[in-house]
A and B are shown apart, each in its own frame.
Chain A
Amino acid sequence: MLINNFLLLGAVLFCIGVYGVIARKNAVMVLMSIELILNSVNINLLAFSMLHGNVDGNTFALYIIAVAAAEVGVGLAMVLLIYRNRKSISLDELSEMKG
């Protein structure tokens, strides 16, 4: 198989995730788009790991999965906190830190 198959799949998923981060207003949906981006990175790491016959890519893919799990935990806790205080998780209403 061509390595470009996997790399282009990763690129497509990454760009869809970036569109989601830009376009979505709901905080949970933005977190889901970030998950798409992290998965595309994992596909790239594993493709290069196989190309070079080296397990380092697998190691870092596992580390990325762990970091993503931690990120989702903290992110959803923050979303719940915001929801409890404001009854809304719409990101464009969070403007207290505007300069």
Chain B
Amino acid sequence: MSAVILADDIYVAQNIGFGIIAAVMIIGALKVVTSKNVVHAALALVLVLGGAAAQYLLLAAEFVAVTQVLVYVGAVMVLFLFGVMLTRAKLGQEGDLNNKNAILGVPVALLMLGVMSWVLIDGFEDTRLPQDGDQVSVQALSDSIFKPYLLPFWALSFVLLAAVIGAIVLARKD
């Protein structure tokens, strides 16, 4: 009995870390969808993406966490800020960013959240994650990408190539 309590105590730090990061992420996500200022929403999105990277570390996926920081926080957010800056006249308050009937989104989101929470809590009651704490090694990950999932990797290369060419063709002035 005491061993069980002790085993729970060891991972208190992880649970506290999870709780703090999750609270920051949820507050940031709410700010993304409710902020009146586009730049503030973009900065709140940085908070959410950084928190997601921290959660990936808790989930023993360090390579994905590093990739998340490089690709999302580094590249995608710069793209977003370019998009924000190029599509409006001046910094500061925007007109109204919401639809006329934006309030309809609230019951839809709450209904989805209710159904999903019910299914998850019903299905996974108190399944615990394994506590060995071994990070997924980059070697295992590359073996997985380049052996069984090589074909999706090729397809992804073509998707990226097409996206780059498409973005240039779309955004070019002619």
Contacts and interface: CB of A to CB of B under 8 A. Distances in A.
Contacts of A50: 59-61, 129-130
Contacts of B22: 5, 9
Interface of B, helix, strand, loop or mixed by DSSP:
helix
A94 interface: no
B141 A32 contact: no
Nearest to B31: A16
A47 B129 contact: yes
Interface string A52-72: 010110110111011111111
Given A8-B120, A25-B98, A33 B156 contact: no
A35 B97 CA distance: 18
Nearest to A23: B102
A39 B86 CA distance: 25
Contact of A11 (B116, B129, B141): B116
A18 B108 contact: yes
B12 to A, nearest CB: 10
Interface of A: 1-9, 11-20, 22-29, 31-33, 35-36, 39, 42-43, 46-47, 49-51, 53, 55-56, 58-59, 61-63, 65-74, 76-81, 83-84, 89, 92
Given A19-B106, A25-B98, A69-B76, 14 more contacts: A11-B113, A14-B112, A20-B33, A24-B102, A26-B38, A28-B83, A29-B97, A36-B45, A39-B52, A43-B52, A58-B64, A58-B141, A63-B149, A65-B68
